Structure 1
Amino acid sequence: MPGDAGLGSAIVADLRRLWPMLLMGALVLISALAVVWTAYEARQMTNALNQQLQHRDELDIEWRHLLLEEQTLTEHSRVGRMAEKQLGMGRPAPGQEVVVRLP
């Protein structure tokens, strides 16, 4: 087994001589993993942003529909019809009109 001791010492000697390359290789690997992780996080955040934008658009559409509904419900002719039907209101006859004048 004397050859084994020589092989072990040769490996250790090579590792001592090549440690800067091994360090650079490890740093490149760590950098590559960081790039992959960053790209993954960016995709996740882009997906979340797209979902929020879609939700905003849905809320905007709902808001527009509510504005249209509000406009429809507050139309003068509709209010007049509801006053006639539900409250029995109507235009006064010419003889029932009273004009109030301020001094």
Structure 2
Amino acid sequence: MAQSSINLSRIVLADIWQHKWILLLTLIVIGNAMSVVYTSYATRKQTSQLDQLLQERDRLDIEWRNLLLEEQSKSEHSRVTRSATKDLKMVRPLPKEEVVIRLQ
């Protein structure tokens, strides 16, 4: 029995060796298929990440515009004047109370 299995193994190996180009091409095709699958996976993953980053950019852009509007509304001259007189109890000095300092 051991002799027949050795002979069978030699016959199988000899048959594979005769068709080595077909085996090599089969391995190349399988390797190529695996690389296509991996590339598709990586592309989908990066596309998903790009979509998330674009959404984050849009959210930050909206927040930036809101902050600019808030800054503009808080820096309006009439609002500053109103806040100074109402909250801080400030009044404009009379012309005779004004002091002009000149730098030389």
TM range (shorter): 0.7 to 0.9
C-alpha distance 23-100 of structure 1, shift in aligned 2 (>3 A): same
Q: Aligned-residue CA RMSD in angstroms?
A: 2.5
Aligned length: 96
1:57 corresponds to which residue?
A: 58
C-alpha deviation, 1:10, in angstroms: 4.4
Q: Return the TM-score normalized by structure 1.
A: 0.77
2:24 corresponds to which residue?
A: 23
Are 1:97 and 2:101 matched, yes or no? no
Q: Return the TM-score normalized by structure 2.
A: 0.76
Q: Any unmatched runs of 5+ in structure 2?
A: none
1:41 corresponds to which residue?
A: 42
Cα distance in 1 between the residues matched to 2:77 and 2:17: 92
1:13 corresponds to which residue?
A: 14
C-alpha distance 46-30 of structure 1, shift in aligned 2 (>3 A): same
